[in-house]
Structure 1
Amino acid sequence: MSETTRTAARGAAFWICYAITLISAAVSVTFAIVAVVDGGLEATDALYAASRSIALVVLALVAPMFRSDAALLAVAVAMTIVQGIDAYIGALQGDVAKTVGPVVLCLATIVAATFLARSDRTRNRD
């Protein structure tokens, strides 16, 4: 594989993982904010969920500023856990949409993070 092709693949791995992680975080924060709006300030659980979701979105937005694979992978792992738990909760509630959506995001994040983690840049191979 030529150096140009290898560099392109490394960059693609980062940006694909970034896009999927950011989408996952944005979906999570959207649902948390909707829960806060619906429940008002008395919806303490929704407020806590929103605060954590906002933190994850901020981390996802900041990761490319440093081009840090490790930071992006950490956020991707956190989003995989969040979406996995959301899927479990959706399944417990018997809500197909709240189960399938998070499962798709969880699996997409796992695939993208694996692609990034296996990239030559992360492993420092040449």
Structure 2
Amino acid sequence: MTEPARARGAAFWICYAITAVSAIVSVSFAVIAVVDGGVAADNANALYAAARSIALVLVVLIAPIFRVDSALLVGAVAMTIVQGIDTFIGAVQGDLAKTVGPAVLCLATLIAATVLARSDRMRDRD
């Protein structure tokens, strides 16, 4: 395996791992909110959040099956946006843990996706 191909493979798997952790953390909190509130009508927001989180985690988890970098990058961008908004919500609520955790995941996903995207550009130049 050539060095650029190895670097691209590593970039894919690192981006995948970070994005998957981000998606799994997100879906975990959504499911916890549903379990805490039940399926009552007043818990509709938690149910909608869980539905979207489950869809995102499934998209991210199946990305390696097809090994399409662009699919993983779409998932990474979506998770970056989700974690960025979660950071804002945590800050507005004044909750340090709900601010720092999503901020770290947001930045880590953004960096990993950037490295993967740049490795693709380098591969296309060869």
Give the TM bin, normalised by the shorter chain. over 0.9
Stretch moving more, 82-91 or 112-121: 112-121
Q: In the alignment, does 2:105 pair up with 1:105? A: yes
Rounded Cα–Cα distance in structure 2 between residues aligned with 1:85 and 1:120: 28
Deviation of residue 121 (structure 1)? 6.0
Deviation of residue 6 (structure 1)? 1.2
Q: Which residue does 1:36 correspond to in 2?
A: 34
Q: Secondary structure at the match of 1:63?
A: helix
- Identity, in percent, stands at 71
Seen in structure 2, the aligned counterparts of structure 1 residues 81 and 120 have a Cα distance that, compared at 3 Å, is closer
Contact 2:4 2:123 in 1 (8 A): no
TM-score for the superposition, normalised by structure 2: 0.94
Contact 2:11 2:116 in 1 (8 A): yes
Please provide the CA RMSD for this pair: 1.3
TM-score for the superposition, normalised by structure 1: 0.94
Q: Which residue does 2:13 correspond to in 1?
A: 15
Deviation of residue 111 (structure 1)? 0.3
Deviation of residue 61 (structure 1)? 0.9
Q: Secondary structure at the match of 2:39?
A: helix
Runs of 4+ in 1 over 3 A off after TM superposition: 120-123
Rounded Cα–Cα distance in structure 2 between residues aligned with 1:96 and 1:8: 38
Q: In the alignment, does 2:106 pair up with 1:94? A: no
Q: In the alignment, does 2:96 pair up with 1:116? A: no
Deviation of residue 22 (structure 1)? 0.3
Number of equivalent positions: 124
Deviation of residue 125 (structure 1)? 2.2
Rounded Cα–Cα distance in structure 2 between residues aligned with 1:38 and 1:99: 21
Q: Which residue does 1:85 correspond to in 2?
A: 85
